Structure 1
Amino acid sequence: MTKPTPRRMTARTIADELRVQITDGTLRPGDTLPTSRELAERFGVTLKTVGSGVDILKGEGLVIGEQGGRRRVRANRPIVWNLTRFERGNRRDSAAGDDWSTAIRDAGREPEQQVTVSTGEADSQIASWLQIPASAEIVQRVRLRTVDGQPYQLATSSFPMEIAAGTPLLGEGDVSMPGGILASIGHPQLRVRDEITIRMPTPEESDQLQLPPGTPVAEHVRIGYGEAGPVRVMVTIAPGDRHRLVYELEV
C-alpha cells in the first residue's frame, strides 16, 4: 500500500489554513499571528512563502500589519446604521449633536465629527442629483465621522447655493440644530432616495478612513427632496468592516 503524497505547502495553502482558524475562532479578532519563523517551522516552508501567504490575508482584509512587524487578526466593532430611521420623521438633532451622533451615543459609543465647509461649482454628478445646471454654485459640508476615536464615515453633503446662502449651512464646524438645519431654515426634507454601491476605496478614501488593504466600502447616496425638488445630496463612504446597514420596510 503506497503512502499518500504529503500536501505541498504553498502561500495559498498557508493562507487557507490560517483563514480557517480565523473563521472558526481559533484566532480571534485582535489576536497576534504567530511569527514568520514560527509559521515557517510549522508549515515547513521558507520565510518568503510565509510572507506571501500572510499577504493574501492582508489583501482580503482579514489581517493587518502593525509597527514592529506584528500581524493581527483585524478587530473592529461595527456600528448598526439603521438607514430607515436615520434622518426620518422626528429627527433627534440638538445643540449637542446631529441625528447620527445621537444614535451613536445611544449605542454606548463616543462620536465625533470634523467638519470642513467650502463653496464651488457642482460637477455633473452632483448637478444631476440636485437637478441644477452643471457648474451651478453649491455649498459642501464634509464630515469625517469617528467612533471611539476611529474613523468610521466620510460624509459629503452638497446644497444648492440658493438654499444655503445666508444660513448656518455656511457656518464652520459641527453645526446642528433641533429638527435639522434644513428644517430650521424652511427647507425640510419631505422624502429621500437612497442609492448604495459597494466598491473598493480610492487612495484618498483609504488614507482618510485609515483602511487596511483589501477593505471595501459602501457608498451611500441619500438625496433629500423638499416641496420643489432636491434640497441636499449626501454621499457617505462607509468601510465595510465597520458597518451593518439596516432597512426596515413594511410589506
Structure 2
Amino acid sequence: MTPTPTGRATARSIADELRTEIRSGVLRPGDVLPTSRVLAERFGVTPKTVGSGIDLLKAEGLVIGEQGGRRRVRANKPIVWNLTKFERNGRRDSAAGDDWSTAIRDAGREPAQHVSVSTVPADEQVARWLGIPVGESTVQRVRIRTVDDQPYQLATSHFPSTIAAGTPLMEERDVSLPGGILAFIGYPQVQIRDEISVRMPDPDETERLQLPPGTPVAEHVRIGYGEAGPVRVMVTIAPGDRHKLVYELEV
C-alpha cells in the first residue's frame, strides 16, 4: 500500500493498491471486492474513505457497482472487430445473418440485432457524409447489436430515400441477404471510407449500451460509395472495453 506522511491510507492509496491487485490478477475479472467494512479494517480507515477509493476505480472503469451494494471487478470478453474484412469483397451475408453476425458466430459467440426503422430528414452531418442537401429525406436504421445477450454496439445507418424506399431496408427486422442488401437492390458499394474517434458516451448511449461509469467509446463512421456517389453512412458506437479494432493493410 502506498504510504502517506502519517502512515494512514487515503482514498487514492487504497485505489492504487486495489488497482495493482486487479492488474496483477490477484483480483480477477468478475471477482466481488471485499466489503467496505473488511477493507476499512485492512487499511485502517473508515468505510467512507474506502468508498471514495473504490469510486476512483469505478471512474476508471475497473470496478462496477451492483444491486445490493456489491462491487465487482469488471469482466468483459472483448470481440475482435476486423474492420479490414468487414463488408469487403467476399462478405459472408446469408439468410442466417449479415457479415457482422457471421463473424461473431465464427468466434464462438451468439449475436443478435434489434432493429428500428424511420424516415428522417438529413441533418448537417449526415448530409455532408451522403452528399445530399440538408433536410432531404433519408431512411434511418438503428440497430442495437448484442453478443451473448449483452449490448456491444449501437449502429445507426442512413440511406438516401431514393435508394431505400420500397426495399428490404424499410423492414423493421434483422434483414440479411446474400452479398449485402445494397448489392441485392442494385447499389453495391465499391469504396468505403472510415472515420474513427474516441470519446466519452452521451447519456443515451450510456443507457442503451448499459455502460458502467468511466467507459469510453469508439465512434466508427463508415461511408459506403457506389458508382455514382455515397449510398450509405453507418455510425457505430462501440464500448472500448468490449472491442479490439483491427486493420490489416498491405504495404
Q: Structure 1 length as normaliser, TM-score?
A: 0.97
Distance 2:7 2:91 in 1: 60
Displacement, 1:204? 0.3
Displacement, 1:128? 0.2
Distance 1:169 1:145 in 2: 17
Q: Secondary structure at the match of 2:29?
A: coil
After the TM superposition, which of the residue ranges 167-176 and 208-217 deviates more from structure 2?
A: 167-176
1:75-224 equivalences under 5 Å are: 75-224=75-224
Displacement, 1:7? 2.8
**Corresponding residue number in structure 1 for 2:29:** 29
Distance 1:213 1:67 in 2: 15
Amino acid at match of 1:70: R
**Corresponding residue number in structure 1 for 2:57:** 57
Q: Secondary structure at the match of 2:94?
A: coil
Root mean square deviation, CA, Å: 1.0
Distance 2:53 2:237 in 1: 30
Q: Secondary structure at the match of 2:206?
A: helix
Displacement, 1:165? 1.4
Aligned length: 248
* Kept after mapping to 1: 8 A contact 2:129/2:223: yes
User: Which consecutive aligned stretches of 4+ in structure 1 deviate over 6 angstroms post-superposition?
Assistant: none
Unaligned runs of 5+ in 1: none
Q: Secondary structure at the match of 1:218?
A: strand
Distance 2:212 2:12 in 1: 20
* Kept after mapping to 1: 8 A contact 2:30/2:73: yes
Displacement, 1:174? 0.6
**Corresponding residue number in structure 2 for 1:47:** 47
Displacement, 1:166? 1.5
* Kept after mapping to 1: 8 A contact 2:121/2:135: yes
Distance 1:243 1:230 in 2: 27
Q: Secondary structure at the match of 2:33?
A: coil
Distance 2:146 2:168 in 1: 23
Q: Secondary structure at the match of 1:28?
A: coil
Q: Secondary structure at the match of 1:212?
A: coil
Amino acid at match of 1:230: P
Q: Secondary structure at the match of 1:250?
A: coil
* Kept after mapping to 1: 8 A contact 2:112/2:145: yes
Displacement, 1:5? 5.5
Q: Secondary structure at the match of 1:128?
A: helix
Percent identical? 77
After the TM superposition, which of the residue ranges 20-29 and 4-13 deviates more from structure 2?
A: 4-13
Distance 2:172 2:159 in 1: 15
Amino acid at match of 1:117: V
Displacement, 1:8? 2.9
* Kept after mapping to 1: 8 A contact 2:8/2:45: no
Distance 1:5 1:137 in 2: 65
1:12-27 equivalences under 5 Å are: 12-27=12-27
Q: Secondary structure at the match of 1:29?
A: coil
Displacement, 1:6? 4.9
* Kept after mapping to 1: 8 A contact 2:157/2:234: yes
Displacement, 1:216? 0.2
Distance 2:198 2:172 in 1: 31
Displacement, 1:9? 1.1
Distance 1:168 1:46 in 2: 60
